[in-house]
Amino acid sequence: MIHVERLTLGEFQSNCFFVTNAEDSVSFVVDPGAYSGLLLDKIEEFGAEKLQYILLSHGHHDHIAFVADLKQKYPLAKIVIGEQDAAFTKDTTLNLSEYFGFICKPFTADILVTDGTELPFGSSVIKVMATPGHTAGSVCYFIDDSLFTGDTIMKYATGRMDFPTGNRSDMLVSISRIAAMEGDPVFYCGHGENTSLQFERVHNNAMRKALYDDLFDLY
């Protein structure tokens, strides 16, 4: 069973998650978007050699800006990003760091994932769901009834679709796929509070449109 800790980092208040499985002695980080001494402390306390992945939900700077430094410190951890967002790791226009005046050190991902990719994690697997819309290569990561959604879906909302490679139609398809999931997974979102599938089915207009077609407008 995984244990999830949320750290809210940087000027854009992006969520980073440190996820551990004590039974299997493995860990991963999701979306380290700004320097965090607390994150480093948590990695070291659990065991630096146990950090298996640096998972990226998409390539915007507020979700990737600390990746290069983490990789330098923990070279055995594999950087993972959606295949369609691979160029974001080096392109300051695509990752928006140029637009917002931030420095985002370039890096190269170790693993490019697509829909259905499975990443071994101890005795479990991390399943990848491609969810384009916010960016073309946005992905969600599913493990142990937990979905790390990045900026695809947040409490009451979806991510913006007007940045490079964003697409409104793609977003609605992605939200429809999430809406069709079974059970009630916890959503660990790129910004704001955690939420859940059943909560968003009731309160998120985009998901209500996905479920009930033309009864609701996306915006």
Q: Where are the domains of the chain?
A: 3-215
Give all strands of the β-sheet with 14-21 in edge-to-edge order. Answer: 3-9, 14-21, 26-30, 51-55, 78-82, 111-113
Q: What are the tens digits of pLDDT across the range 172-181? A: 999 999 999 9
Give the pTM: 0.95
Return the pLDDT at 102.
85
Q: Tell me the two tokens of residue 203.
A: 């309160």
The C-alpha atoms of residue 57 and residue 42 are separated, in whole angstroms, by 21
Could you tell me which of 70, 85, 87 has the C-alpha nearest to residue 18? 70
- 3-215 CATH pick, 1.10.760.10, 3.30.365.10, 3.40.109.10, 3.60.15.10: 3.60.15.10
For the stretch 100-135, pLDDT in tens is 888 899 999 999 999 999 999 999 999 999 999 999
CA 47, CA 195: separation in Å to the nearest integer?
29
The sheet carrying 195-196 orders its strands as 118-121, 124-130, 139-143, 146-150, 186-189, 195-196
Q: Using pLDDT thresholds of 50, 70 and 90, give the confidence band for residue 210.
A: confident
